Structure formats: structure tokens, C-alpha cells
Amino acid sequence: MSNRPRLFNRLPQTLEERYFSKIRPKLYKLHGDHHQTGVRKGRTLAEHFDSACQFVLTVSKLAGIADQKRAVLLAATAVHDLNKIDPSGRKVKQLARDKTFLQEQLEQADIAGLITSEIDLELVRRLIERHSGHNVSDGSIFLPQEDDDLERLTAILIAADLLDLGLENQEQLFRKLQTELTVALGRSSHLFRVRVSEDRGYMTALLLGACDEVLRTYGLTPLAIFPDGELFEGEIAPEQDLTREIAASWQAKIDAVFGNNIDQLVKPTKDGIKIRTPAIQHDHQEVLSAVLALLEKKKANFKLDKVNADLDKWGKQKVDKAELDHAASVGLLPLNNSDEFALAEGLKAAYLSYRQIKPELSPHQVWEKIGVHVGFSPEQLSALEVFDAQYGRPLFAAKAVQTDLEGIKAAILESLQMRKDCLQQQKGADVSEELIEAVAQTLNCPFVGGLDLSKELTAYINANPRERCSLGPTKSETEDLAEMPTGTKVQVFSNRLPGGMSSDPRRQAEPITSLAYQLMTVGANFPSVKKEPPYYLHLTLPKGSSPELLRIWRECLQNWAATNGDGGPVSIDWLKLYKENSFEFRTEKIVGFAFPKRPEFVHATVIIPLTWGDTNASVALLKSLRLALELSLSSEFGFPFILSSNMQVEASTNAYGQVEGIPSSLQPLLATENYQSGHYNRQEAEVILKRLRCLGNLVQATASLKKFDDCLYDLACAAAQPFSLYYVLLRWILREQEEPNLALMWSRICEPLKSLESLMPDENASLLTKYLKEAARIAAEAHLQGSSFKRTAQMEPFANFIAKVRSQKSYMDLEFLFAALVRDYYDRLNRISDYGGTKTKLEQIKNYYSVIRKLYEEVYQARPEKLLVDQKALESAYLFFLEEARQEIKNKPETKAEASNA
């Protein structure tokens, strides 16, 4: 389909970028409708070529193949199934040796530019001929010009061809792939599949990112991405259980998200200023600035009497007089002003931060480290031992600080770095059990320990019905959440507790499930004011996508989000979308795409909330679906999608698209023959997009921007019976313009209206249109109308027919009815015409009403009640068809010739 959003706003720099920007769209254009059979049933030839091309790009780079040979390998892969392309049914070997045919296919796929010489073309031929795995029969393997890398390149192409085989036994497929990759990489090769049991949005994306990060440290490389996980390759498999390490990396990524607001992570408490663990993942200077800001507040709130009470409590009451005197003799004196109080609080903050290091430092070790930075002597450090390490020492050590605040700053920064280093070294030693269990529950791979399913089943069975999770299945203990994240529609079933308001019910949620929704609210670029729940657009990378596509996709989303410099939602220029079918992003404050703030929120899937403010739910669905289809069906993207009002959905592996919650009023417009199951295949999705495009063009040509949504909803509902669109369109034209030019308006709406009718065929409506257009043509040629150009005068002969039908008596048969119509209207024209009636005019009126009679008999079975139900639609359509007929008559060559002669 044309006019798609472009993935690249720059010239491609690498071979991968060239493939995604130019070659991949061409493959879908050429082979997008070519369905396969057998083990690849359900996938088009374009999808097979695409998966294979991405795989060879990834593996050839991993294998260290030279760029020019990678380009040749890519060209061969893009056309490797020549037998499926050729309509004559010749074999691959025959076709590969047909040089003219091979060059034609390379040019059609827009990859001829990758072939720079006859040697390259010969290499393409040999790769295609050998990719099926059969023995070489032409003896070329013994020739001296045989390429040294041919065996490795062939193995890569064979592996790419095998990747999307629908084998029931995955181990069998892995063995085949491993055999080829061992040849391609020149070493032992093993494959490992990582799957996720459920998609929790940003939470799952961070988990896959953590798994990727940990497995890379053990020498495993991601080869392909699937909707439910990722495929890794490595020479050897890690022997130990990596559950805790993955959980630690996951925890760090989650902490980094919530740590954006450092002020929330550096908190003043009654025990001192505490720096929470998530803060150490961020810029330490920002953390230090937050600590210094709190020290200034402490200084401003200094109260001497309260400090004296603390000095008495931690000094005289805890320490002997002799020890106090000894401390005083080495310069450890009680503080007595606000500056010294700020230093004391700084010392306490540094102490608390050092104590968070794992394994723990003793109080003596902590104060030794602090002493190095602030200039304490060994005698002073020894004298401090008698005081309480956390509460007493800062009060008596503040006066002895030699470096003022600079030494305390250095101590805090050192503690933060040590905490960060220790956390990375521990690899999961300090991770909550909840997160470790969540990794075991979600990930299915050889490196993650199994889950005790009996424990999960017991939790589900024993859960109090009032304490079950409102957001999904109950797998662990839940907690009461009085307020869910703003702007999320989460309730799957009613779970209101006594005392809760009906408008804002209290819900129960598991900690991990609740965390997933909180990640969405802080991780997406929602508008600052969110009143209405969004729609969620779930886009999934196609099966077998390369890590490079993920990188480019992330970069694309970041660039789109950057359109709004304030970090809010991003909308599109609706006029350009409806007039030109093109995307142009612009800044918005209230409505639009709430793109993710971080690239790591995107992995196998991405969730994009669509916010519409206070609008009709059906209109929000229509606009959301239009945007979803425009993105999903782009030849540069080609991403399967789900549109839902829920953040957590169960994806279907066999469907291209899915829309949840279509209201009955929109079913005729948005449903297809196979939609009963709730899913679209790619062809059905394209049909729905064409319908929505036609609908958008009609709205744009008819209504003003202020009335756009209202008109869209009216037309969408009217599409249940496409013929009724004529009446709705005429009503909106008259509403928007007092004296509309119907000829001009018809020229604007006729094309999209005809296209929409062709996309929603109705045999009855087709026959109705045929007869009504024929009658309008006769009326235009014979000037069968009233004496003015008003609407009532234009439809006068047809209105007379409607009036006769309405007043038809039981004794009036059709012969009587239409004979009376002909006579009455002939007399009417005689009265208003300057030239009087003629036999020709009488024949024209007879012809006109004979067509109307066919319409009445064949479409409505001569039943007045059925005709009168469609009266307004018939009259509106007649007016438009009359304008069309006049325009056709005006544009006829003979008519123009007569006009020029006159």
C-alpha cells in the first residue's frame, strides 16, 4: 500500500539499513500476496524471504564475512526460492542457470545494485542452486575459481531457509540449524531459545533486556527475535543457574526507571538522610546535589535546644565523663551552630551510605574511610569509638572536620561508587525473592531454574475471593491498592471491597502486576492531565526479526517521541493523513501517541498508549484503529498488532491483527467474513484500512475540523448499510453549508464513496444503484425536473413516485400506478414548459418511470413499506446521481461540439 510512514529519515549507511529501507518494502510489494503451502502454511513468500534475509545479515556479520560477500549473500537470499516465483513451474537449478531470468528477478527486487561483477552474479547462482542442500552435480566444486567462502555462505543460506520451518519437533529443527551454523562459524554452535509465558508490557521488555545482558556476558549472541522471546547462539552453554543474575539485572533496570526523580530516592528520615539503592544507578553528582539540598534545609531548621537534648542523650547519658574529657582534648567538641549541624548531618548521611555496601563494613571501617576524606587524626578516630556510631559520633566530630563540606562530598561519592561496584559484583545477591520468583515464572529457558507449580496452584486455590488480583490471575499474595495508576483501564472483573466508592473501586493486586502498571504510567509520555483511559496498541516484531531491526525500531520510536520536546504525547497532522495518506508528527498536550520514554521499554513487543481525551469511545476506537493499521501495515514495519483497552492481552500466534471490544454499531464496518474469531489476517487488515481511509476522505470533504469526530461517527454507523451513506452525507453537507454546490461536493466524495461501496459489496444495493443511476441519466438528458434549481425541484419526478407509493390503495395495481405517474408528470411539464409537451417528451417520461418500476419490483418486491424505509437514502442518492449524470453529459465530446457551434 502506498504513502506509508518512512522508517528512515536519512540515507541508509549500512547494509542492514539499506535492506530495511529499500529491499524489504519491495519484497512485500512483490510477494506479499503469495501464500505458501506445506510446512510453511500460514506465511507468505514475502515473510519467508524477509525472515531469511534478516537471519543471513545477522549470522554473516557474526561469522566475519566481508561486506561485499554479505551483500551478494543478501541478494541470493532475497530471491533464493526461484521456483516459487516462476509461473512456469521450472526447478530451482534450471532457473538459477537462466541468466536472463535471474537478472530480471534481482532487478525486480531492487537488489541488482548489490551485484558489482560477473563473479558476484556467478556466486549468487551457485548459492541459490545449492541452498536446498542437495549434492552439487555440475563438478564446479573442483574448479580452481571456486570461492573459498562458498561452503560457509551456503551453510548460512541453508540455515536461514530452515529458520521458519513449521516443524513440530523443535529439537529436530535446532539440530539442523546447529549443523549449518557450525560450518558457517567455523566452530561448535549451540542454540538456546528463551520464551516468556506472558507479556506485561514494559516490565517484560526490561526482563528480556536483562536476560540479553546476562547471556552476552557468557558468550551467547542473540540471533533472532520472536513475539514470545528470543533465540541465542553460543559455543558452550553456561552450566550454572542464572535466575538470580537475571533478576539482579532486571532489578537494576527497574530501579533506573523509577530513579528518574532523584528527590524521591534521597529521603530525610528521623535516622538521617538515606540514599536508596536505585539512586546509585544514576548520575552520582545528581544524587549528591539532592543530599546537599537536604543539608541546606537541615541547616535552615537548626534548633539549638533540640540539638542540646541530643548531645545530652548521646553524650553524658551514654559516655563516661573521663571519655568525654579525652575526646575534648583531641578536638572532639559538641557542635553549637547551624553550619556545624549541617556538617554533622552530612557525616551521618555518609555513614548510612557506607553501611549499605555488601558485605557490610563495620562501623570502625566506615569511620576510617570518612576520616580519610575529612581529615580526622588516628587519635580522634580512636576517641570516637566510645560514641554511638550513627547518632553520637556526628554530633562530636563536626567541629573536627578539616576539609569542611568538600570532604563529606568526597566521602558520599566514594560510598555511592563502592555500592554500585559491589552490586554489580554480587550478581543478584541483594535481589528480592519476589523478583526471583517472577523470573522463574516468566522465563522458560535452560538457564533459569524451574518453578514450584504446586505452590502457585495452592496460592490460587486458597486465595480469598475478595483478595484475588483484579489485574490477572492470582499467583501470590495480593495487596490492597486504593488508587490505581491514572489513565489505565485495568479491571478485568469486579472485585470491589466494602466501603469503596463505585466510581473508584478498591482493587487487589500482586506486587509484580502492580509494578507493571506503574512502569507504564511513569515510562510512557502521557499527557500531564489524564482523565480518560487510553487504548493500548500492542505491536509485535514479526517472527525471526533480527536484533538490528529492533535497534532501528527503537531509534524510530525515540525520534518520534522527540517531536514533543516537553515529553508529552505526539499527534499527527490529520489533514495530511486524510488528504495524502501520509504521517507527519507534531507536538500535542492532551491527545496522541504516548510513546515510551526509554528504548529498553521496546523488545519483542511494544505497547503504545493512545490517548484521546474526553471523546466518544467508538470514535476513539475508529481513530486508534486507523493509526494502528497505518503503522502495522507499513512495508517498512509489517508488525502484527492488537488494539485493546487493556494493557495485558493474550496474543494470538496465528493472526496478524486483533481488535478487542468492537461495538455492535461498528461491526459491519470493522468486521470481515472470518472476524467471528476476533482476528484479522493481513489481507483482511488491508481491507479494513482501505475502508477507514475512504471514510476519512468522506469526512474530510464534508465536515469542518470542529465537527470531524461527529461526522466520522455518523458515517461509520451508517456504513452498516452503505447505501444509507448518501443520506448522511447530504445531511452533513446541508448542515455545513447553507447553499451547497452539490455538483462540486459530489466530485469530492464520489471516488471514496464508490471505493467504500466496492469494499462492502451488497447485491441488493448494487441493483438499486444501477436503476437509480439509469433513471437519473434519463432525467438529466430529458430535463425532467421542476422549474427551479432547488433540491425539491431537482428530485420532482422521483418525489412524485414516492408520493404515489405512499398513497397507493389496494385496488391500484402497478399498471394503474405508473400510468397515472406518467400522465400526471407529463401534464405537469406541459404547465411549466414554454414549449409545451411533445411525443418525445412523453416517451422520455415513460422510459424514466419504466426504470423506476424495475427498481420498485426487483429491489423492493413492490412492497411500499420496504421502499418507504429507504426513502431518505433514495432521495439523497438520486440527487447525487443526477449531478453525476449532468457532469457526464456535459463532458461528452458531442455535447462540447454542439456548444461550440452554438
pLDDT (average), residues 830-836: 69
Average pLDDT, whole number, for the chain?
83
3-state secondary structure 68-126: HHHHHHHHHHHCCCHHHHCCCCCCHHHHHCCHHHHHHHHHHCCCHHHCCCHHHHHHHHH
User: At a CB cut-off of 8 Å and minimum separation 6, what does 679 contact?
Assistant: 652, 654, 655, 656, 657, 658
The string of pLDDT tens digits covering residues 477-500 is: 555 454 444 443 333 334 444 444
pLDDT value at position 404?
87
The residue whose grid cell reads 548521611 is: 349
The answer, yes or no, to whether the previous bond of 359 is cis (omega within 30 of 0) is yes
Distance of CA 586 to the CA centre of its chain: 18
The string of pLDDT tens digits covering residues 615-625 is: 888 999 999 99
pLDDT (average), residues 330-335: 91
DSSP secondary structure, 550-596, as one string: HHHHHHHHHHHHTTSTTS--EEE-HHHHHHH----EEE-SSSEE--B
Please calculate the CA angle 463-467-471 and round it to the nearest 5 degrees: 105
Q: What is d(CA 664, CA 647) in angstroms, rounded to the nearest whole number? A: 23
Q: What percent of the chain has pLDDT over 70?
A: 85
CB atoms within 10 A of CB 708: 19
Report how far apart, in Å, the C-alpha atoms of 101 and of each of 29, 98, 704 are. Answer: 19, 5, 53
Q: What is d(CA 411, CA 600) in angstroms, rounded to the nearest whole number? A: 32
C-alpha cell at 443: 522465563
Q: What percent of the chain has pLDDT over 90?
A: 35
C-alpha cell at 231: 533465540
The string of pLDDT tens digits covering residues 745-782 is: 998 999 999 989 888 887 777 888 999 999 999 999 98
The string of pLDDT tens digits covering residues 449-471 is: 765 555 566 655 565 555 555 55
The residue whose grid cell reads 493481513 is: 682
Question: Is the separation of the CB atoms in 720 and 669 below 8 Å?
Answer: yes
3-state secondary structure 778-844: HHHHHCCCCCCCCHHHHCHHHHHHHHHHHCCCCCCCHHHHHHHHHHHHHHHHHHHCCCCCCHHHHHH
Q: What is d(CA 554, CA 606) in angstroms, rounded to the nearest whole number? A: 10
Among 460-464, 528-532, 683-687, 850-854, the range of highest mean pLDDT? 850-854
Q: At what angle do helices 433-442 and 511-523 cross, to 10 degrees?
A: 90
Question: Is the separation of the CB atoms in 732 and 703 below 8 Å?
Answer: yes
pLDDT value at position 617?
87
Of residues 552 and 450, the one with the higher pLDDT is 552
pLDDT value at position 583?
80
pLDDT value at position 496?
44
Question: Is the separation of the CB atoms in 291 and 267 below 8 Å?
Answer: no
pLDDT value at position 565?
85
Q: What is d(CA 712, CA 703) in angstroms, rounded to the nearest whole number? A: 9
pLDDT value at position 198?
82
Q: What is d(CA 82, CA 94) in angstroms, rounded to the nearest whole number? A: 9
Q: What is d(CA 451, CA 565) in angstroms, rounded to the nearest whole number? A: 44
The string of pLDDT tens digits covering residues 848-892 is: 999 999 999 999 998 889 999 999 999 999 999 999 999 888 887
Mapped onto helix, strand or coil, the DSSP state of residue 538 is strand
pLDDT value at position 138?
52
The residue whose grid cell reads 433513471 is: 775
Strand partners, 657: 641, 680
pLDDT value at position 491?
39
Q: To the nearest 10°, the Cα dihedral for 166, 167, 173, 177?
A: -30
Report how far apart, in Å, the C-alpha atoms of 418 and of each of 277, 280, 366, 422 are. Answer: 12, 10, 12, 6
Model confidence, pTM:
0.76
Q: At what angle do helices 170-185 and 45-62 cross, to 10 degrees?
A: 40
pLDDT (average), residues 778-804: 87
Using CA of residue 10, residue 12, residue 16, residue 18, what is the dihedral sign?
positive
Half-sphere exposure (CA, 13 Å, Cβ side) for 236? Answer: 5
User: At a CB cut-off of 8 Å and minimum separation 6, what does 593 contact?
Assistant: 525, 560, 569, 570, 571, 608, 609, 610, 627
The string of pLDDT tens digits covering residues 57-101 is: 999 999 999 999 999 999 999 998 888 888 887 888 888 888 888
pLDDT (average), residues 322-346: 91
pLDDT value at position 180?
92
pLDDT value at position 358?
75
Question: Is the separation of the CB atoms in 604 and 544 below 8 Å?
Answer: no
pLDDT (average), residues 433-462: 73
The residue whose grid cell reads 557468557 is: 218
User: At a CB cut-off of 8 Å and minimum separation 6, what does 103 contact?
Assistant: 112, 121
The string of pLDDT tens digits covering residues 384-427 is: 999 999 999 999 999 999 988 999 999 999 999 998 888 666 55
The string of pLDDT tens digits covering residues 157-211 is: 999 998 888 655 678 888 889 999 999 999 999 999 999 988 888 989 999 999 9
**Amino acid type, 256:** A
pLDDT (average), residues 706-721: 90
C-alpha cell at 585: 508528527
Q: What is d(CA 50, CA 58) in angstroms, rounded to the nearest whole number? A: 13
Confidence of residue 690 (pLDDT cuts 50, 70, 90): very high
Please calculate the CA angle 487-493-495 and round it to the nearest 5 degrees: 90
Please say if the pLDDT value at position 254 is more than 90.
Answer: no
CB atoms within 10 A of CB 803: 12
Q: What is d(CA 480, CA 546) in angstroms, rounded to the nearest whole number? A: 42
Sheet holding 229-234, edge to edge: 221-226, 229-234, 190-196, 443-444
The residue whose grid cell reads 452525507 is: 729
Please say if the pLDDT value at position 433 is more than 80.
Answer: no
Nearest Cα residue to 703 out of 671, 672, 731, 744: 731
Pairing state between β 229-234 and 221-226: antiparallel
Question: Is the separation of the CB atoms in 96 and 60 below 8 Å?
Answer: no
